[in-house]
Amino acid sequence: MIKFVNAKINIGLNIVGKREDGYHDLETVFFPVGLESGMPQQPDPFDDILEISLDRNKPSGCRFQLMGRRLNCAPEKNLVVRAATLFFNTYYEKTGRAIDEGLYNIILDKHLPDGAGLGGGSADASFCLVALNEMFDEPFSKRRLAELSAKLGADCPFFIYNTPSFAEGIGEVLTPVDIDLKGCSLLIVKPDVSVSTKEAFSGIKPRKPKFDLRFLPDLPLEKWRDYVVNDFEESIFPLHPELGRLKEEMYEGGAVYASMSGSGSALYAIYRDAEKGSAQRERFVSTYSGVWLFGL
């Protein structure tokens, strides 16, 4: 079985409170991107490719292989391996049957950038759960898969449903939203800048947002710039001014809306005019190694 693993962007991200468990409550809109990567209409390679196969002639077990973009992560700590282990253990708890048909080969061909705020690792984990669930004739509902995925990462449940969603809590409480960006172009740029989670949250001050993102579908795209903010930009841009400059360049090039995704360091821009998006893509590819353009 082969799955093409897409990413997400955050449209707005508000940190609204600090929890007793040390995490932060947030409000954001998750929007899937790269759903048609590799197709003629979106030729830029972007999605990860996850392949799972069963070799019945080998002793029972699970073997993981990573290809493409290298990760500074031990194999046993990779979210895909953890997702597979979680699935097999939960399947045994539900059915009393161990996974003994043979050797499951899991190959992850990595293209999505890490440390970008695009949810690549979380997406890999969730797609692994979905793929295994399909291979085992769907013993778990989507709701149950979302519950399992939340053990792997706060934004993992989003990728189980993979539709535009308003997220709250630590990102695991989801409500579908109807965001219509058809006809627009989306440009994603990943600068050679790394922002750690600790660094991102170090300057955050929880507060009530000025705009309720649940009403984002009612707000015209042309007004997003005035109302929709990512709270992380306030603390991260002073530490990495090149990110702030990149956002301004996106607006100067005709973007209707531009923002950092998650805690960064990728930024994205939305264009009504496809030619302006293409022109900025050509401009940025000479400076940044990670540049992708999609039609929405």
Structure tokens, 108: 């992850």
Phi and psi at residue 124, to the nearest 5°:
-55, -45
Question: Which is catalytic among the residues 47, 48, 124, 155?
Answer: 155
Which residue is catalytic, options 8, 190, 247, 276? 8
- Whether 8 is catalytic: yes
CA distance to 46, 79, 167, 172, per residue, from 7 (Å): 9, 15, 16, 16
Strands 257-260 and 173-176: unpaired
Write phi, then psi, for 110 (nearest 5 degrees).
-90, 125
Retrieve residue 197's tokens. 């989670």
Backbone angles phi, psi at 12, to 5 degrees: 75, 145
**Dihedral angle, C-alpha 217, 30, 253, 267, nearest 10 °:** 160
Task: Tell me which residues are annotated as active site.
Answer: 8, 155
